[in-house]
Amino acid sequence: MAALKLPHSPRLIQGRQPLVPFPASTMLFPKPPSSPLSNYSFATSSVNAGFLTRTLALFSPGIVACKSSSLIGVRGNQSRIRSASVQRVAEELMEDQSKYSLFSGDSIRQRFLDFYASRDHKILPSASLVPDDPTVLLTIAGMLPFKPIFLGKIPRQVPRATTAQRCIRTNDVENVGRTARHHTFFEMLGNFSFGDYFKKEAIQWSWELSTKEFQLPPERLWISVYEDDDEAFEIWHKEVGVPVDHIKRMGADDNFWMSGATGPCGPCSEIYYDFHPERGTADVDLGDDTRFIEFYNLVFMEYNKKDDGTLEPLKQKNIDTGLGLERMARILQKVPNNYETDLIYPIIEKASALANISYPLADEQTKLKLKVVGDHLRAIVYLISDGVLPSNIGRGYVVRRLIRRVVRAGRSLGIKGERRDNLEGAVLPIIAEKVIELSTHIDPDVKIKAPRILEELKKEELNFVQTLERGETLLEKMLADASSNAEKSGTVPCLSGKDAFLLYDTFGFPVELTTEIAEEQGITVDMNGFDIEMENQRRLSRAAHNVVKLAVEDGTNLTNNINKTEFVGYDTLSTQAVVESLMVNGSPVIQVSEGNDIEVLLNKTPFYAESGGQIGDHGFLYVTGGEKQQTAVVEIKDVQKSLGDLFIHKGTIKEGVLEVGREVEAAVDAKLRQRAKVHHTATHLLQAALKKLISQEISQAGSLVAFDRLRFDFNYGHALTDTQIEEIEQLINGWIEASTSLKTKVMPLNDAKEAGAIAMFGEKYGEQVRVVEVPGVSMELCGGTHVSNTSEIRVFKIISEQGIASGVRRIEAVAGEAFIEYINVRESQMKNLCSMLKVKAEEVTTRVEKLLEELRMSRTEVANLRTKAAEYKALMIANKAFEVGTSQTIRVLVESLDDVDADSLKAAAENLIDTLQDPAAVILGSCPDEGKVSLVAAFTPAVVDLGIQAGKFIGPIAKLCGGGGGGRPNFAQAGGRKPENLPSALEKAREDIISILSQKTS
């Protein structure tokens, strides 16, 4: 290709800079015959209506096209403009449309895929945002699904592929809306070669796609290459024809890609679009966001980085590329930033309409908040669609944090919820409907899952609004105090870490929001102080849990001269050890005699100390004298860790005397250790089964490994069905039956993550970690004790599944010997039940169902009798009604019906109202059970018409009985906990109803 010739100057439109960055025509991007994109017609599209609105504002900042001829300003300010002016400018823009075409994001995506499909690439669907890769939390790049192929872990299925991969990145979430290009959710268009073509084809096709398929002006494109990659430089310059002054050599930080500390790697080359070519070619900085945007990255994976840092050529060279859809849409649609493309702008328009705001006329801070709403809601909707539900850890916390940012941004814009479709005032579902509407060509499953997505959004938003309302008021005062104090002292205003932690710990106010709100007011937050407060809380929590005192009365630290405990319990259940220290009631002693409870520190131990959910071992310490005669026995019932490496053995001296410095034989109870091992390995299998059968998003939220059972808490928003529980049990028991030997090894943390080991999100690990693997099933970072082979577990049974918090479920299960005990207890209970019912085991269900039906019928009969008795009592007291009023006579009855239950009291009141007839007011009370009060108020229509409501009347009366209640204007019920106050409460009701009715009828 011949060298490019740059034009002398960019084209001008009516003396202005070009409205669009490059010339176009109506045939520049012809649609495919079967294109589903007709909705994006310039003349009819709601999306392009937004573009028209914004473009009008560019021509004349004082006007903007709106419905009818009104102008909507920020926060709903409206002023009239002449319809003729709007029509004239609109006609000019429509004329420009014949020369400058707008191109939809859906069409860009499809053209990219079709371009590479025509070059023998297989179009593969987007992978989930939840990656099948334990080393990353979310799918952060288009190449991630192919990482195992690039790393040589699995064979390639096709030599070439192309995808439109949905991605999530939140490491720079604070930049969303502040720059023109940062997003949390984005689509990465990619073409990949697995040992097939390499640099030449990748470079030539990327150029052809950019300049011919998308018609980008060659003179506006710049290229970066790795500083030592002469081959790529030559291809770009000599074969493609890019001028030397448009190719920049850059260092490894910018243009050398690595998969990790070792492994496949290689140089990369990037294509940039130049928005301001008039600035020339001298001293160009491709990192200048005001001028350039990088839209295409080509990675040439040609080396393997060895442990010593040297590079060796790969036998199979690969290509990994990524083109940002949002960035290309920005370029082709000629808008000032990625947010104003048809991929995101309709969402912003929806939010603007709810806030009664005109985006084109809004100030930059308002636009920033609208961009945050538009960007974050895309990420939230697609994450929930992929099974990531809001929670406090892992991926769930990413969703929760994004939702909270959107809620706050919306509230600050004045967006208020519409109480429709059972939304209860939630706003996010209303805006999310637009995201779902735009999802057809991104992920068709989103529309199918729309009801669940909207319900999760509603629930999370309403919960968080309560948190916001509690914390915002206090934060506002704290920030005002911080500003005032800084002004007095002449320092920079800063919110203390203690205050930020108080908001977080007491009010549940996220520290991220505290920081954002403070920064908006020019106030910093002492995050170091916050971290210190957080660590102090953790330390106090651990201290309260362990209840171990390690200081003597004079304040001298007991541990000054004690080394950490050596743990040998992985390899042996008994060892000789030396008593380093003894404590009784937290105080150090030299000698302890029989019958005392003690805490013992040994120089080494086979006892596992409670950690990682597994409880501490039980066992004995034996002291022997001459001729190996036993002189003391200590029974150990618990082992705890303190200060990280000290194992504190808690027990009771059963025989003899124990002294500091004595040698003991420390022996673990082998049967109980085996039970713990069985339950711990079963816990790993349970997590693997939940991920496999229920959701890959499931993550551990807590666990207990005990001798008699295991408990596993996990993040999931719905109860498991009986069928799902059965499938989980079957899968785990299949793994047990497979008799798989476990593998355990210690390795560097990074190597463990690279190998795929699951780590607890938020957990801190050292440089060296212990990895427990059930090959083909599970691999976790774990310091607990485990069986050698899955067959040792014998059998697994789930005994309960329940919710314990919002979005958190709990499974309890038994395995091995504990399962046998569980079955034996249940069998004994069944035998007793059969004996009591005088039936066989298989007849128990039928017999119980019959008894329940008989009980139901008996209860119904009793209830009917009680109701009839209450109605009889009501008739007996009807003659106690008295009249109130002068202009209108109203019959009133206020009485107690002793021990009548609430339902019968209601029936009695209804019967009395019918008996007394309109107008009448009946107030009754009773004490159906010990410590219970029932109240009822019934008013006829004529009484209600006077403005007296039963629901409002009965509430204050119920408070006198230690309770409350309410109901409809004509009928209300209430309850209380102080029967002794019922007489005075009814007397108060009598006085109040007489007074009110007397005034209303005087």
**How is residue 895 written in tokens?**
């009485």
Rg (CA), the chain: 37
Phi, psi for residue 558 in degrees, rounded to 5: -65, -25
3-class secondary-structure state, position 561: helix
Burial class (CB in 10 A: 0-12, 13-18, 19+), 846: exposed
Q: Are 62 and 70 in contact (CB under 8 A)?
A: no
What residue ranges in 400-498 does DSSP mark as E strands?
494-495
How far is Cα 616 from Cα 676, in angstroms, rounded to an integer? Answer: 9
> Where is the binding site, in residues?
680, 684, 782, 786
User: What per-residue string of b and e applies to 42-69 under the rule 16 or more CB within 10 Å gives b?
Assistant: beebebbbbbbbbbbbeeeeebbbbeee
How many degrees, rounded to 5, is the angle at CA 155 between CA 149 and CA 161?
A: 60
**How is residue 131 written in tokens?**
């990656």
CA atoms within 13 A on the CB side of 866: 18
Instruction: Identify the DSSP state of 614.
Output: B
> 318 CB contacts (<8 Å, ≥6 apart)?
149, 150, 192, 193, 194, 195, 264, 301
Q: Are 237 and 731 in contact (CB under 8 A)?
A: no
How many degrees, rounded to 5, is the angle at CA 316 between CA 312 and CA 321?
A: 100
How far is Cα 478 from Cα 494, in angstroms, rounded to an integer? Answer: 10
Q: Which residue has the tokens 């491709």?
A: 286
**How is residue 896 written in tokens?**
């107690």
Beta strands 920-926; 890-896: pairing state: parallel
First to last CA, the chain: 103
User: Which DSSP string do the residues of 568-597 spell out, in sequence order?
Assistant: -TTT-SEEEEEEEEEEETTEEESEEETT-E
Phi, psi for residue 173 in degrees, rounded to 5: -60, -25
How far is Cα 964 from Cα 976, in angstroms, rounded to an integer? Answer: 6
User: Which DSSP string do the residues of 658-721 spell out, in sequence order?
Assistant: EETT-EEEEEE-HHHHHHHHHHHHHHHHHHHHHHHHT-TT--EEEEEE-SS-EEEEEE-SSPPP
> Where is the binding site for Zn(2+), in residues?
680, 684, 782, 786
> 575 CB contacts (<8 Å, ≥6 apart)?
568, 604, 605, 606, 665, 666
How far is Cα 557 from Cα 559, in angstroms, rounded to an integer? Answer: 5
Instruction: Identify the DSSP state of 604.
Output: E
